[in-house]
């Protein structure tokens, strides 16, 4: 049976970097589920139809990592029909051998609630804003405002709000290096794998 690692948390917390590193370390498949919502938004038109017809090639579209794409993704992610259309895509991905690492906002709570490893990666708002501003070459104050608004939408949506699973282990990356965060995550996974 494939081994599933579910990683959740807010934008710019480090979850994607940790997820990518874990997938590489264990030879697992990796899915940044936020790209599904970004790609759905980038397709334009009716978001529900865009989600239903999403193809793996859509995840390669330019501009999906932009701040604008992230804001659009957050707005369409509150639409229950969009989320429903993308759930099966994610669940099919998760059961690939030998294992998969999925990162997003609701992996441990909705997509893969039975995953043997659930991590919730956090960082302070200010640290996240600095990271995102450096990544995008943007103003940190503007990034802070956008991250707070996005977090509010993600936490308050009716369908699959962003929150840690009850059995998720928290990794706070505010004051540790990425190498330390990855090492902590590997230690958790190794322990769970026995």
Report whether 50 belongs to an annotated binding site: no
Contact 115, 6 (CB under 8 A): yes
What pLDDT does 193 receive? 93
Report whether 108 belongs to an annotated binding site: no
Report whether 11 belongs to an annotated binding site: yes
Residue pLDDT, tens place only, 129-161: 999 999 889 999 999 999 999 899 889 988 888
What's the pTM?
0.89
Cα separation of the two ends of the chain? 15
The residues that bridge with 101 in the sheet, in sequence order, are 5, 30
Contact 98, 4 (CB under 8 A): no
Domain that holds residue 42: 3-193
Q: Based on the number of CB atoms within 10 Å of its own CB, is 6 exposed (0-12), middle (13-18) or buried (19 or more)?
A: buried
Report whether 17 belongs to an annotated binding site: yes
Report whether 66 belongs to an annotated binding site: no
pLDDT at 187 over 90: yes
DSSP SS3 for 114: coil
Residue pLDDT, tens place only, 34-71: 899 999 999 999 999 999 999 888 999 999 988 888 88
What pLDDT does 65 receive? 86
What pLDDT does 177 receive? 96
Structural domain count of the chain: 1
User: For the chain, where are the E strands, in sequence order?
Assistant: 3-8, 29-32, 99-104, 117-122, 169-172
CATH number of the domain that 141 lies in? 3.40.50.300
| Structure token pair of residue 61 | 């579209």
Residue pLDDT, tens place only, 61-109: 999 988 888 889 888 988 999 989 999 889 999 999 999 999 999 999 9
What pLDDT does 78 receive? 86
């Amino acid at each position: 049976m494939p081994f599933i690692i579910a990683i959740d948390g807010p934008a710019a917390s480090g979850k994607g970097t940790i997820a990518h590193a874990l997938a590489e370390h264990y030879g697992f498949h990796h899915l940044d589920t936020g790209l599904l919502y970004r790609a759905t938004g980038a397709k334009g038109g009716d978001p529900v139809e865009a989600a239903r017809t999403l193809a793996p090639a859509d995840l390669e579209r330019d501009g999906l990592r932009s701040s604008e794409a992230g804001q659009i993704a957050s707005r369409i992610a509150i639409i229950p029909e969009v989320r429903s259309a993308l759930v099966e895509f994610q669940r099919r991905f998760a059961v690939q051998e030998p294992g998969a690492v999925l990162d997003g906002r609701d992996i441990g709570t909705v997509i893969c609630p039975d995953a043997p490893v659930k991590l919730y990666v956090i960082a302070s708002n200010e640290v996240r804003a600095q990271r995102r501003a450096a990544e995008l070459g943007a103003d940190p104050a503007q990034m802070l405002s956008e991250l707070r608004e996005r977090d509010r939408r993600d936490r308050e949506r009716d369908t699959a709000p962003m929150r840690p699973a009850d059995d998720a282990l928290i990794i706070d990356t505010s004051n540790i290096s990425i190498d330390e965060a990855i090492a902590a995550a590997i230690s958790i996974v190794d322990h769970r794998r026995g």
